[in-house]
């Protein structure tokens, strides 16, 4: 299968984890098995066992979740890559941006897996449990949701964290401010505004201590020029350079994930087909809210892999 100028690969972020992720591909493809072995070695514990067997409460711990999703995503990507599917661009949602950079050759897998373990740890430790919160505002556009955050803040932090689609904005900040924002959003015509079960208020200025600690780690790593453009969350822009890539990953910790804008950028660049690579179908679902006319597929196990390969084989036939 040759490269296709109109395919973008998308990599999921936290919340897409499930017990058993990566197991099917690992049993069938040596390259997937090797990926989990590399992760186990880089981390010094059996991450593979936690991915394949759980327990769920451990898999949900941020410093385990992040390397687990990255590893399952890269295992799936390496299988896809062996099958000859090469994209014109890559993007990842929050944590998924690291998977995108591994796929683009910007970072080694071992460096990425250790970095996201620390990223998870730093994010967890940045804000004491109970101080922060996150909520999803559904059926309200980003501009109105941003105004809700501004009005609810009242000298506390309340900021848009993930601009996921025209119908979904996730907000983050101090617990009381987020509660006020939920009330305001409901009063101002949101379909729904609901508190999310998360362990910390990600992607807002409360994450500054985590950003500073992560920056020190990222500055020590060797970043290479990406082989394909990586669309970064914080600017919704393509990065083609090693230092830009590092800088975007640093700023991403406190910055909002501009997912809706990132997908629209890829569409404007001529992307016709999107493949979500890794566990779950969260990005697949968001894609349907952003632009239903584009083909969206996913690769998380043998069945979805075959379906995706058959699609592209038929298209190029």
Q: Which residues are catalytic?
A: 94, 203
Q: Name the nearest CA neighbour of 235 among 256, 264, 266.
A: 256
Sequence-distant (6+) residues with CB within 8 A of 75 are 22, 25, 26, 29, 31, 32, 35, 36
DSSP string, 162-231: EEEETTEEEEEEEHHHHHHHHHHHHHTT-SEEEE---SS--SSGGGHHHHHHHHHHHHHS-----SS-EE
Q: Name the nearest CA neighbour of 20 among 54, 66, 46, 63.
A: 54
**Pairing, β 273-277 against β 89-92:** unpaired
Look up residue 284 and give its two tokens: 């697949």
Cis peptide preceding 187, ω within 30 of 0? no
Radius of gyration of the chain (CA): 19
Q: Rounded to 5 degrees, what angle do the CA atoms 103, 301, 28 make?
A: 90
CB 8 within 8 A of CB 85: no
- 3-state SS assignment for residue 104: coil
């Amino acid at each position: 299968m040759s490269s296709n100028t109109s395919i973008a690969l998308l990599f999921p972020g936290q919340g897409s984890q499930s017990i058993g992720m990566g197991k099917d591909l690992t049993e069938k493809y040596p390259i997937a098995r090797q990926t989990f072995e590399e992760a186990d070695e880089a981390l010094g514990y059996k991450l593979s066992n936690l991915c394949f067997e759980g327990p769920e409460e451990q898999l949900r711990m941020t410093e385990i979740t992040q390397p687990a999703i990255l590893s399952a995503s890269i295992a799936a990507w390496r299988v896809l890559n062996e099958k000859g599917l090469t994209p014109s661009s890559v993007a990842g949602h929050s944590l998924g941006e690291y998977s995108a950079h591994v796929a683009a050759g910007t970072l080694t897998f071992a460096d990425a897996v250790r970095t996201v373990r620390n990223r998870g740890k730093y994010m967890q430790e940045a804000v004491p449990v109970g101080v922060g919160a996150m909520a999803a505002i559904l059926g309200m556009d980003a501009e109105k949701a941003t105004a809700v955050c501004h009005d609810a803040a009242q000298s506390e932090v309340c900021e848009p964290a993930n601009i996921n689609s025209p119908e979904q904005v996730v907000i983050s900040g101090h617990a009381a401010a987020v509660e006020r924002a939920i009330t305001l959003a409901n009063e101002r015509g949101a379909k729904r505004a609901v508190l999310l079960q998360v362990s910390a208020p990600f992607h807002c200025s409360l994450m500054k201590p985590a950003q500073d600690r992560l920056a020190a780690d990222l500055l020590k790593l060797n970043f290479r020029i990406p082989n394909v453009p990586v669309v970064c969350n914080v600017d919704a822009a393509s990065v083609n350079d090693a230092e830009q890539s590092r800088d975007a990953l640093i700023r991403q910790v406190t910055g909002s994930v501009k997912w809706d804008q990132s997908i629209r950028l890829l569409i404007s660049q001529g992307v016709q087909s999107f493949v979500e690579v890794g566990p779950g179908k969260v990005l697949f679902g968001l894609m349907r809210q952003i632009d239903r006319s584009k083909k969206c597929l996913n690769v998380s196990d043998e069945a979805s892999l075959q379906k995706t390969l058959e699609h592209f084989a038929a298209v190029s036939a």
